[in-house]
Amino acid sequence: MQTSNSVMIKTTAPIFLFLLVNLILFSFAGCGKGGVVYHRIVAKKIAAATPAPNDSAPVTSTITPGSFDANSPQTITLSYTDTESHLATACAVSNLTNITESTACFCNGSGVCTVGITGTLDYAGSASFNYTVTANGLISNSSSATLTIDNISTFYGWTNVKALGTKSAIALTGAAAVPAYVELKFSAMDVVSGLVGTYNVYRDTSPNIVVTKSTTPYAEGVDPATTTYTDSTVTSGTTYYYRVAPVVNGIVAVPDDIYSDQEIKVIVAPPNMALVHRWIANREMCMLMGKMAQIDRDNYYRCPHAGPGGDGTYFDMGGPLLVDAFKLGCNYSETACAGSYCLGTIATPSGVVAAAENSVYYSRANGRCFINNSSGTGNSWITDATSTITSAQRALMASNKPGLPPLVVIDQEDSNSTCASMSESGFAGNKRLLSRKEWVVAAAWDEQLSDAEISSIEDGIAATDCNTDSGSMGLHMITMLCPLSKRRYQEHLVVDLIFEV
């Protein structure tokens, strides 16, 4: 009889709920305790299943995030509001356009509703879907959510880095100084959708550049046919960081994060010097050994190697090198000898050529370089082979400026002493001679040059002899030695730097 009354009340309009409660609490006062408890349970179930007369349905609002990368799954949060602050317990999506539901719509115990979606394969552009949420038994309105599937790109690595310091003016030629610059070359990049129109370049003096669709680039319009960018606004001795990203229909296709080499560190060399970049040097040597496919882009572009020049496991330069861009030359004085250049055919200037102390004279008769140990014309001119020469005098005699007559009459010991006397402002340590491994790497020719082009450069590009026949030793005055391996110039010295790039 009690159960029958409860069923009848369930099918009656909610206005009789109050009567039911009174019936349970008061009409059966003579029943046992179990009966009263039974009716209380039934009453609670009826209240939970029936919304209050004035309850309103939840209202859908926005979704987050509003965009995601192509070919990547994304979890979308479905936002809503509810006047009575009821939490959503269920959700549903429909009318999916350019996306699929990869994870079913779900609302957790805190009322947060999410759905996993994936864009159509290799598609970038707009997408949409409708969704509803259910709270307190009431279903919300159906909201149309629009989002963007972002085009992404794949970065395939750097192929060349050339960073030259300021080139000094060349005496006797009128050639002006040339500012420092950086030249970067990278492999063409793929995009999920569309064609690359141009590339953007991002630059900073601090690492960890963040590239997004809205990041302001340092440079725009890099030609996709050349994938080469030249930065002429750099300063010698400064370190820069670079990234690149393709642009498709005016929108940046941010590169994925498959490899860690997207950002490259470039040290702009001091004046008259060039950078031998660790990654590029390793890459080129590995290519020459036929190991292009084994280059490890996440580890300095090294490759497996068990022979000479390696550590028994890999070929790796171990760090960048800053090398002289021009042959070390005799830094002859330009006005000290009778108001003119200290150049001539006098074999030994002592007792003949008058000049101030520390003036430097170059003899075209024998190819030797002298420094005046005292003022006047006495027997005071000494060479780099003189046992009493000081380190400071060696530093004055030699220079890596372009256009100087090369130091050719000098042995290895004196060469090493001369190198050790030289330093560069802003860099720790003095210069030293290249090791054999470093020389092989630094002197490698660009694979794009033909044998004829290489021969022409190696044989000399100036027609005027620097020395007389008795002193020339077959050498010519080369005002500028040409680039080796795309990014560097022939050099005899190297700053002993161990910076990791």
Up-side HSE of residue 475: CA atoms within 13 Å toward CB? 21
> What DSSP state is assigned to residue 178?
B
Banded model confidence at residue 377, pLDDT cuts 50, 70, 90 = confident
- Nearest CA to 202 out of 244, 163, 261 is that of 244
In angstroms, rounded to a whole number, what is the distance separating the alpha carbons of residues 68 and 62? 15
CB 404 within 8 A of CB 332: yes
- Distance in angstroms (rounded) separating the CA atoms of residues 373 and 393: 9
- What element of type H or E holds 71? none
* Homologous superfamily assigned to 154-268: Immunoglobulins (2.60.40.10)
Does this model's pTM top 0.85? My answer is no
Tokens of 30: 């003579």
The more confidently predicted of residues 381 and 45 is: 381
Residue at token pair 């990654």: 279
Give the Cα separation of 333 and 331 in Å (integer): 7
The mean pLDDT value of the chain amounts to 83
Chain-centroid distance of CA 400 in Å reads 30
- Asked if omega into 483 is within 30° of 0 (cis), the reply is no
Pair 185, 159: CB distance under 8 Å? yes
d(CA 450, CA 440): 19
Cβ atoms 184, 161 nearer than 8 A: yes
What whole-number distance in Å separates Cα of residue 464 and Cα of residue 6?
A: 118
Residue 238 binned pLDDT confidence (cut-offs 50, 70, 90): very high
Quote the pLDDT of residue 7. 34
Q: What is the CA radius of gyration of the chain?
A: 39
336 pLDDT higher than 60:
yes
Residue 155 predicted with pLDDT over 90: yes
pLDDT of res. 21: 39
In 3D space, the residue among 162, 155, 150 whose CA is nearest the CA of residue 269 turns out to be: 162
Helix-strand-coil split of the chain, %, nearest 5: 20, 35, 50
CA distance 120 to 331: 67
In the predicted structure, residue 15 carries a pLDDT above the cut 90: no
Give me the mean pLDDT over the 6-12 stretch: 37
Pick the more confident residue, 42 or 443: 443
Q: In the prediction, which pLDDT does 258 show?
A: 86
Query: What pLDDT is attached to residue 280?
Result: 96
Q: Give which of 15, 41, 39 is closest to 28, Cα–Cα.
A: 39
390 pLDDT above the threshold of 80? yes
Q: Is the dihedral of CA 493, 495, 499, 501 positive or negative?
A: negative
**pLDDT by residue (tens digit) across 193-235?**
999 999 999 999 999 999 999 999 999 999 999 999 999 999 9
pLDDT at residue 360 tops 90: yes
Residue 257: band (very low, low, confident or very high) from pLDDT cuts 50, 70, 90? confident
Contact 153, 120 (CB under 8 A): no
Query: Of 301, 246, 310, 306, whose CA–CA distance to 279 is shortest?
Result: 301
CB 292 within 8 A of CB 321: no
pLDDT above 80 for 158: yes
For residue 265, what pLDDT is reported? Answer: 98
Give the separation between CA 95 and CA 356, rounded to whole angstroms.
Answer: 91
* pLDDT for 374 beyond 70: yes
The 10s digit of each residue's pLDDT in 424-476 is 888 887 888 888 899 889 888 776 778 888 777 777 654 444 443 333 333 33
Instruction: Supply 271's token pair.
Output: 């004046």
% of the chain beyond a pLDDT of 70: 80
How much is the pLDDT for 311?
77
What local confidence, expressed as pLDDT, does residue 32 receive? 44
Give the Cα separation of 231 and 224 in Å (integer). 17
Q: What angle do CA 416, 421, 422 make, to 5 degrees?
A: 105
Read off the amino acid at residue 4. S
Q: Helices (H) and strands (E) in the chain — how many of each?
A: 9, 34
Structure confidence at residue 50 (pLDDT): 55
Q: Which residue has the higher pLDDT, 407 or 42?
A: 407
Residue of higher predicted confidence among 195 and 326: 195
pLDDT tens digits, 68-113: 999 999 999 999 999 999 999 999 999 999 999 999 999 999 999 9
Distance CA 323, CA 485 (A): 13
Q: Which residue has the tokens 């009889």?
A: 1
pLDDT reported for residue 445:
78
List where CATH 2.60.40.10 sits in the chain: 59-150, 154-268
* Residue position matching structure tokens 């957790």: 108
Fold (topology level) of 59-150: Immunoglobulin-like (2.60.40)
